[in-house]
Amino acid sequence: MVPDAVPLMFSTLMVVLPIFALVFAGWLMRRCDVLGDGATAELNRYVVYLALPALLFDVIGHTHAAEIWQPGFIAVFGLSSLIVFSATVAFRLRRPMPLADAAIDGLNAAYANTGFMGFPLALVALGPAALAPTTIAAIMTVCVVFAVAIVLIEIGLQGQGQGRRAELVLKVARSLVRNPLLIAPALGALVPLSGASVPAPAETFLKLLGGSAAPCALVALGLFLARPRTGDAPPAAATALLVGLKLVVHPLLAYGLARAFGLPPLLLHTAVLMAALPTGTGPFMLAEFYRREAAVTLNVVLVSTVVSILTVSGYLAAIR
């Protein structure tokens, strides 16, 4: 093994360990009947309607264009994520599969866990200079890729049984403007654009509420994992495909685009590292919120997180 691989693997494990601890906490609470059958859905609704919107508003509200204007990095990470997302959706639709489910699988393949794992890993592996491009990757993931998936899910759900295109467009638009995951970042963008600042009490409120988004989503994941299984087990082939797209295809595509765009080494390695991260909890939250089948998504989140300890550590050891 490469000499640097062991400490890097240990550093990666230390970042990943709290994720499994929170998932296990949710699993234990359900198994001990501390939280009941409805806890998963209710906790997920809390994340979607309160915690995650607060986090998105806070992130966008504190984003200054001068700090994150890296057009090459934006193009590389954004294109790599959207290409993987779009290709996965197109492939899944050939089964055939409902558009809403295909969009969630697209997220499974392209939604990197930039928020929970990206920042500590970037700091440990690449240093403080990597935090600005990591912020860009987080914004692209939770705002752009996530928003595209929500639009497709709404089109798929609102379009069921609809015969007239005008009615479909109206229903989708109405649903989107009421979606807190789209409203929050849009309102947050008004803060830097207007030159205003968030008052201190509101800032504290946003930090407290937004800080609970990731822990609550992971606990909800554990609650879902502990539920008694009914019906057939999710196909292992689907999990393997989506994990492979996330951990292999996504970073390889980011690397190729980074070389094509001529990114300097720091931005190149940050883009690849962010793309190599495992699937975050966003797809699971949407699957639960929209009442779609979440078993494959659950497996993808867990398996990709475990396997990424090896793949991410291997990449970091190679560039060292």
Q: What is the pLDDT of residues 60-83, one digit of tens each?
A: 787 776 667 789 999 999 999 999
Q: What is the pLDDT of residues 183-242, one digit of tens each?
A: 888 888 888 878 788 888 999 999 999 888 878 888 887 887 787 766 555 678 899 999
Q: How many angstroms separate the CA atoms of 299 and 315, rounded? A: 23
pTM above 0.75, yes or no: yes
Nearest-10 Cα torsion for 156, 157, 162, 165 = -50
Q: At what angle do helices 119-126 and 265-275 cross, to 10 degrees?
A: 140
Range of the structural domain that residue 128 is part of: 5-319
Q: Are 284 and 224 in contact (CB under 8 A)?
A: yes
Q: What is the pLDDT of residues 111-138, one digit of tens each?
A: 998 877 787 788 778 888 887 888 889 8
Look up the CATH number of the domain holding residue 281: 1.20.1530.20
Alpha carbon separation from 123 to 120, 133, 198, 303, 320 (Å, rounded): 5, 11, 27, 24, 15
Backbone angles phi, psi at 271, to 5 degrees: -60, -45
Q: Are 85 and 108 in contact (CB under 8 A)?
A: no
Structural domains counted in the chain: 1
Alpha carbon separation from 293 to 153, 171, 231, 297, 299 (Å, rounded): 13, 23, 12, 8, 12
Q: Cα–chain-centroid distance for residue 309? A: 17
